[in-house]
A and B are shown apart, each in its own frame.
Chain A
Amino acid sequence: MTPFSTPVPANTPAAPDPQAQARNRLAWALLALVPLFALAGLATGTRGLSLEAFWADLQGEQAGLILGQIRAPRTLGAALVGALLGLGGALAQGLFRNPLADPYLLGSAAGAGLAVVLVLAGAALAGTTLSLATVAWLERVGLVLAAFAGALAGVALTLALAQGAVHTLRLLLAGVVVAVLLGALSDLVTVASPDALRGKQAFMLGSTSFLGWQAVALLAAGSALLTVLALRSARALDALTLGEDSAASLGVALPRMRLLLVVLLAGATALAVAHAGLVAFVGLVAPHLVRRHAPGAHAWLLGASAAMGAALLLAADVVSRAVIAPQELPVGVVTAVIGGVYLFVLLRRRGLG
């Protein structure tokens, strides 16, 4: 009928779709790996990752305390923080149509960093009159709240500088400006209050060691809500791959959609950062791994990147506790090393051209 059509026999069986097969394989792999890594997280203690020690812990008198109150919430929390970072990374890469975008763009990291430094400096000023335990508890809750508020404030400042989410490039540039300015401010505070410096360093490195059940509940509720909202915007992100004008011509109300995506991105990042500090590379590498090995539409990318982020941070958490047990490394150092090596290998394999 049309000169285009090449005749296709009517009874040809549908050709297998290699991309769909890859997605299936990755989905099964993640479904197996996340519980496996979580189990490894439960089994990793002061003697490193050892099934023997895990068995002894299970039968010990303090099994409920060690496993139920320390390792279980920490492991679950690491999975949820990783999922939020993976989701945030996939959102950022879709929104900016750039595979190098990460969830800390748009000033959330710098905002959280400044807020944490301010609280630490304030606590150092007031700390002399309070008992040590009170300060620790106050600092803990205060830090989570401050980091959350700081991350959101950083993004709000970026939005204000960019005059809303109308221009993607302006948004990115405003994010860079906010990161530089707030970074300089928090450097200034640490110069004035050296006590804040150590706490800031721990925050910048990222850590999963303070996650309790309360944090897990908050993280779980937050990630459930954000994932649902993100999945509802998946088709808009797909439309954006055609370019902003084409998406607009399809009836996507772009400024509003971009604002929603920025808010989701800010929410996911703030929630993760508030509980675990600036864990490096998970938000960049998780969606990257998914898109490289099992590309697909955004409904898949968002969900799979979240699962991939969970698997990555769980694995990194186990490594950080097992490598020099009974000591532990900050998990952010482990993710940075793993992420850096991954990107390096990718660079080598693809060549620099």
Chain B
Amino acid sequence: MKPANRIDRTTGTAPLLQCQGLHVALGGQPVLHGVDLDLASGWTAIVGPNGAGKSTLLRALAGLQPVSQGEVRLGGDPLRLMPAAQRARRLAWLAQGGQTSGELNVRETVQLGRIAQRGLLGALDADDARAVAHAMHETGCTAWASRPLHALSGGERQRVLLARVLATEAPLLLLDEPTTHLDAPHQVALARLFSRLARGTTAQGARRAVVTVLHDLPIALHADRVVVMQAGRVLAEGTPAEASLHRALEQVFDHAVQVRPGPQRAQVSLAIDED
């Protein structure tokens, strides 16, 4: 049976990205110990305590991290064998932290996303201008198009870097801590953007998958699917409404959080008062 034909039980679609038995070591230290994961279209949140291997997994899924065992497949094709330019058209990756250097302004930064489609030498055309304008509109940075990146606040820069990712128009978005530096209104706006992106299609009509590594559990519980990681393994996965997922979350976070079913969504609280 070809694994690509398996149907995801939460969203009912074929997986876009799969990994099987993924082992990754960093500096000789094993970080991922055999991760199996099928990612379908929709919004998936990866959560877990610090050092669980979330970012490493995301880098491996993006093809940026050499794996010592196992394989990542993108739409059935081995990611390892895929030319970098082809990979860039099919997936986009947002780095954690968002450190940048240089003096590019906001629009020039977002335009870098079009390298995925145009390469390093191709001239940008009206299609690229539309994608760039749309990405800037989605993240609300149109108004500062000509401001230099280093003159922005951390949260503003984070939105520009997210626009850079959206401008690639890749169907698979891998975002490492995209809500870092953002205030509450913008976190909410971003969460809405993710679910809207995950329900929509790209300009080319492909179904989108949004994968976010998140520390913020209340936001993560708005995703279509939650993957809980601990110590380099996937401990649990499921929809945010599943009680077993809630128990797994409480367990990996050492019962510092409590997850209870709410009227619409599961509610997360920090167990600060109980001692």
Contacts and interface: CB of A to CB of B under 8 A. Distances in A.
Nearest to B94: A246
Contact of A248 (B64, B100, B109, B113): B64
B125 to A, nearest CB: 15
B189 A250 contact: no
B142 A241 contact: no
B115 to A, nearest CB: 4
Nearest to B93: A249
Contacts of A6: 140, 143
B104 A251 contact: no
Interface string A241-254: 11101101111110
A3 B104 contact: no
A50 interface: no
Interface string B78-117: 0000001111110111010001111111001100110110
Contact of B137 (A2, A291, A297): A2
Given A2-B138, A238-B102, A243-B99, A17 B146 contact: yes
Contact of B188 (A3, A20, A246, A250): A3
Contacts of B108: 238, 297
Given A19-B148, A241-B101, A251-B115, A8 B142 contact: yes
B104 A252 contact: no
Contact of B120 (A18, A19, A236): A236
A5 B84 contact: no
Contacts of B63: 249
A179 to B, nearest CB: 24
Given A20-B146, A245-B59, A235 B138 contact: no
Nearest to B89: A251
Contact of A297 (B101, B104, B115, B143): B104
Contact of A3 (B88, B100, B189): B189
Q: Which of A232, A236, A248 has most chain B Cβ within 10 Å?
A: A248
Given A4-B138, A242-B100, A251 B146 contact: no
- Which size class do B's interface residues fall under? 35 or more
B161 interface: yes
Interface string B136-175: 0111101100101000000000010100100010000000
A250 B115 contact: yes
A15 B120 contact: no
A242 B92 CA distance: 13
A170 interface: no
Contacts of A235: 112, 115, 120-121
A18 B145 CA distance: 12
Contact of A252 (B84, B100, B140): B84
Nearest to B168: A250
Nearest to A291: B103
Interface in B192-251: 192-193
Given A19-B105, A238-B108, A5 B137 contact: yes
A133 B189 CA distance: 79
B28 interface: no
29 contacts: A2-B140, A2-B192, A3-B140, A3-B188, A4-B139, A4-B189, A8-B142, A235-B112, A235-B121, A236-B120, A238-B102, A238-B104, A239-B112, A242-B161, A243-B95, A243-B99, A245-B59, A245-B64, A245-B93, A246-B93, A249-B62, A249-B64, A250-B113, A250-B116, A251-B85, A251-B119, A252-B84, A253-B85, A295-B148
Given A2-B137, A232-B121, A298-B102, 18 more contacts: A4-B137, A4-B138, A5-B142, A15-B146, A19-B103, A19-B105, A19-B146, A235-B112, A236-B120, A238-B102, A239-B120, A243-B95, A249-B62, A249-B63, A250-B115, A251-B86, A295-B103, A301-B103
Interface of A: 2-6, 8, 15, 17-20, 94, 97, 232-233, 235-236, 238-239, 241-243, 245-246, 248-253, 291, 295-298, 301
